[in-house]
Structure 1
């Protein structure tokens, strides 16, 4: 069930769906678990595509990979051979190689930077992208779907890089399912060999989950394990840790002769929160509640959302 969402310089996303796919259970456990009498939880993928239009110190950007690799070295100052690690730097040159997978063991850093903008030590002032939790960096299990065809080309890898074009606004279209083999938007056509060095770049990445519904998903999926995220963080972009500028930090200086006695507390101008908060005043009174409290299942009449119908369970 791939779907696409657009992101342009800010992250927003859809609320997660709660209903599961199901099918008749015919003793075919290789397609999913039996979750109820005669019912199988039909396994499927959730792939949500995000778009980031980076402009790091201008619109001329490059994607670099700083990879940590093991190396055996004989140094002139040591009689023995040492097993150590070193940093290998490479860059993405064109869209022919821009279908990417996150590296095993997270040994390679994915960086975006302007090669003409370096810090005082000669390092590129970059921003780093990395998967965070859960299904970050996932992609569709089926690479050549006989049902979805090219309409799901955006979901075939965890991350892509393309040159920015106003005409390439989203990775898919809401009406792609009307003709999946001739979709309105075929993301595969975006990857047409264009140069990616010092260009206005767009990063497309996928978040999601591989979902094999189980009995705990009835009547709706619990989302405590359906988390995914991406981290964007500066790398050599700043000359120090910006957290040091926080006015809420404190430093405790101890007595020089008694290490368990605090002699001085420095707050650096920060002030602790003060006052009182009345928890009783914000306690909800459900006897005054007006509205719908039913969990609805499709279909129902949206023009009369509070009607008691058979669609309400």
Structure 2
């Protein structure tokens, strides 16, 4: 299963003023195309063989393995990657900010449902084309897009948390109608929670 999003539409322009050169690109005599950032977020209710699910990461690391016994060369090493399971217990732990230096697999699984090999049946969430939000956290209008602080967040399902944003976000920056960060700040337990 794959979901894609593409930005399209008309350029949002303003009247050109030389003092605003650093805020966009001059397109014509009196037209400035404003610098802006397209970001998307999706809300998904994912159930794996029932609603009692878990979110964990498989944290990828590297280690040097001594292979001198096999090669006959003292101190000979081989670089090997391995993973460590990291179960996320609360919403705060499950709020993920991407870091290329700490690669991980994101796994949603039902611990009670296993394959014939004893491995939990799971979905892996694979995120491509991520973008970093450049607004400073908790300043001015940033709260209206607090979902963009994270490349993934896992929260307990609640009927009144139906979206991560609002169509009024451009106008309610000081006191947003929907503040996604609050969903995480409740810090509910998320392990095997049935909604």
Confirm or deny a common fold (TM above 0.5): yes
Task: Report the secondary structure of 2:144's partner residue.
Answer: helix
**Match status 1:199 vs 2:193:** yes
Residue 68 of structure 1 pairs with residue 64 of structure 2: no
Q: Tell me the equivalent position of 2:34.
A: 42
Out of 94, 101, 115, the position equivalent to 2:97 is 101
Residues 168-247 of structure 1 aligned to structure 2 (within 5 Å): 168-191=161-184, 192-200=186-194
1:258-281 CA deviation, whole Å, 9 max, x = no partner? xxxxxxxxxxxxxxxxxxxxxxxx
Separation (CA, whole Å) in 1 of partners of 2:194 and 2:68: 45
Secondary structure at the aligned position of 1:196 is classed as coil
Q: Deviations over 1:173-209 (max 9, x none)?
A: 22344422212211111111111212258xxxxxxxx
Aligned residue among 10, 25, 28 for 1:19 = 10
Match of 2:87 in 1: 91
Q: TM-score, normalised by structure 1?
A: 0.53
Distance 1:12 1:72 in 2: 38
Cα gap change, 1:57 to 1:148, in 2 (>3 Å): same
In structure 1, how many angstroms separate the alpha carbons of the residues matched to 2:68 and 2:113? 35
What CA deviation, in whole Å up to 9, does each residue of 1:141-186 have, x standing for no partner? 2133755242221222221110110111111222344422212211
CA RMSD, Structure 1 to Structure 2 (Å): 2.8
8 Å CA contact retained: 2:136, 2:142: no
Larger Rg: 1
Q: Indicate yes or no: 2:101 matched with 1:119.
A: no
Distance 2:82 2:41 in 1: 33
Is contact 1:53–1:164 with CA below 8 Å preserved after alignment? Answer: yes
Q: What's the CA shift for 1:25?
A: 3.7
Give the TM-score taking structure 2 as reference length.
0.82
Between the aligned partners of 1:145 and 1:165, the Cα distance in structure 2 is 24
The total of aligned residue pairs comes to 188
Note the alpha carbon deviations across 1:5-62, whole angstroms, 9 max, x for none.
Answer: xxxxx9697x854111223241544322222213222111122221110110110111
Deviates more, 1:138-147 or 1:93-102: 138-147
Determine which structure has the larger strand proportion and give its number.
Answer: 1
Matched-pair contact (CA < 8 Å) for 2:60–2:102: no
Unaligned runs of 5+ in 2: none
